[in-house]
Amino acid sequence: MSEQQAVALASGRIQLLSPRLANQIAAGEVVERPASVIKELLENSLDSGARRIDVEVEQGGSKLLKVRDDGSGIAADDLPLALARHATSKIRELEDLEQVMSLGFRGEALASISSVARLTLTSRTKDAEQAWQVETEGRDMVTLVQPAAHPVGTSVEVRDLFFNTPARRKFLKTEKTEFDHLQEVIKRLALARFDVAFHLRHNGKSILALHEAVDDLSRARRVAAVCGPGFLEQALPIEIERNGLRLWGWVGLPTFSRSQADLQYFYVNGRMVRDKLVSHAVRQAYRDVLFNGRHPTFLLFLEIDPAVVDVNVHPTKHEVRFRDGRMVHDFLYGTLHRALGDVRPEDHLAAPAALAEVERPTGLAAGEFGPQSEMSLAGALLERSAGLERPVGSVWQSPGAGYQAPRTQSGLPTAEAQGVYREYFAPLNSAAESLPEQQGDVPPLGYALAQLKGVYILAENAQGLVLVDMHAAHERIMYERLKTAMATEGLRGQPLLVPESLAVSQREADCAEEHGEWFQQLGFELQRMGPESLAIRQTPALLKQAQAPQLVRDVLADLLEYGSSDRIKAHINELLGTMACHGAVRANRRLTLPEMNGLLRDMEQTERSGQCNHGRPTWTQLGMDDLDKLFLRGR
């Protein structure tokens, strides 16, 4: 530090930062590690219209990062400007910033990178006779432009990252860790731009060779190369457009969940983002079908008017802000929830390329509730559930099954038990079914052969052997029927003898007033008692045991953050799940072949029947190839 700087610092005087120091401070926001450098360089290449990008890396990127593209190039006179701060060709006026379509637009990337590394930029435009090159080092930021040999396009070479900021260099991880981060960045961009070829070499070895993908088959190959072939085999294609929003891509089946959120790719207008609103919508859509602690997999692309999304909310552009976040949230949740709900056993059995939207039967043809009396029956069952003893088995119409239903003093089953359990918890079809002679007539889950240890159903279908966990499968069927009944019947409120007071912020109180009718539909009655106080006068009858004040606080927090909340619904669904679990057939309950076949047919018609309420799989397929391998046939 010079004497003049020391005096200025001691006196607290304001002074301009040097260009070098300003760039190094900016680099702290943009350049965290080699992967950050690659992201900025690749985005520039894509914005230039490149159709092929070659990346060469040494020592995880700390020694060398070189990106070469065949884009439009940079004019010789613009090369020094390319390394200056706040210099860009991608926006001109404020209006341009309000509808950004390019990946880069801040004009800081190259300046920040060159302030902490030795950078060489070589470029040639289509109409130029030769290429030009500019070099700079972080310590002086002086640029030198000279002629060079290079085809049309641009090459950026970054050497010795953080050579002049040793403290930053110490924070770099091992070579393998840094390279893994770098490779992940390239994969993300490769998934966003199927029309561009990407090639990656590390320490002289070829790591990635992703060719241009121009049709569905080649795009599927790229997805399989980046996400693994297992993802494509266990994913559903999605494509829907509504209200100016278009969502397309692939969502993994719940059975293909992972222990980490490491296979989740979401793009907004081609830009990879990590957004809390998006994550919340996806979690809601998977909530009923995912095992605790598991994470869904997806590759999704959202296309939206650039004018209604702000991409300038984070230095690294990882986050976005939607003008109408609630509309986007509801669109994502509704689309994914419906797609997962429409999955049937035949979709699991279909080849990935053949997965398509299938028309589903509705109403009675799909096994849904029809008569209003059944809806009332479900509501009555829920209200009486607290005082109703649960039977060990759940199928009333099969005497001698080994369970004891609630009985009167004379020893006969109570009328309540006879009515509720016979009518509601007896979904198994008792009609005998015979195996058709025509193989093509075999339904997706086939026909029952036997029951194993009173737990599993063994069935034969066109592919081979099907194993079904009968309790888990029946539990899902019961759960979906209870949800349907509840959605139709609605939530009845129960007035409180003594209203509960609730201290909240003024913002939360305003939110409660704004959504008063919505709370009323869910069985709550909230009254504002002051600027920062509410009174809870009524709660849903089903949730009389819940902590109402805390639930209201959590719901208000969700409404303020996301514009919607499903916490009340989640609590109710948890109760319905418990009901369904108690009502489902138990282990060691012997079923007849017609009852087993009835359960298989119900599974084929029920939403989300591939998983029980807790996320466990309900059935699995063993094809003839799998069975042949077990016995070494064909060897």
pLDDT at 138 over 70: no
Choose the weakest-confidence range: 46-55, 128-137, 303-312, 527-536. Answer: 303-312
Residue type for position 149? A
pLDDT at 397 over 70: no
> Higher confidence at residue 492 or residue 132?
132
Percent of the chain with pLDDT over 90: 38
Pairing of strands 153-159, 144-148: unpaired
Burial 239-248 (b: 16+ CB within 10 A, else e): eeeeeebebe
- pLDDT, position 255: 81
Mean pLDDT comparison of 2-6, 143-147, 396-400, 584-588, highest-scoring range = 143-147
Q: Across the strands, what pairs with 617? A: 611
pLDDT at 414 over 50: no
Looking at CATH, the fold of the domain delimited by 19-210 is given as Heat Shock Protein 90 (3.30.565)
Handedness of CA 551, 557, 563, 566 (dihedral sign): negative
Other C-beta atoms lying within 10 Å of the C-beta of residue 582: 17
Residues 620 and 533: their CA atoms lie apart, in Å, by 53
Looking at CATH, the fold of the domain delimited by 228-341 is given as Ribosomal Protein S5; domain 2 (3.30.230)
Angle of helix 415-424 relative to helix 372-384, nearest 10 degrees, comes to 130
Contact 61, 37 (CB under 8 A): yes
Question: Phi and psi (nearest 5°) for 534?
Answer: -130, 160
On the CB side of 218, CA atoms within 13 Å amount to 12
pLDDT at 142 over 70: no
Q: Taking Cα atoms as reference points, which of 180, 211, 185, 187 lies closest to residue 197?
A: 211
Residue type for position 47? D
Task: Map out the domains of the chain as residue ranges.
Answer: 19-210, 228-341, 362-635
H helix or E strand, kind and range, residue 601: helix 593-605
Contact 304, 357 (CB under 8 A): no
Two structure tokens written together for 351: 């080849």
Long-range contacts of 169-175 (CB under 8 A, 24+ apart): 169/62, 172/33, 172/34, 172/60, 172/62, 173/33, 174/60, 175/59, 175/60, 175/62
- pLDDT, position 159: 94
List pLDDT tens digits, range 195-236. Answer: 999 999 999 999 999 999 988 899 999 999 999 988 988 889
As its CATH architecture, domain 362-635 has 2-Layer Sandwich (3.30)
Residues 315 and 323: their CA atoms lie apart, in Å, by 19
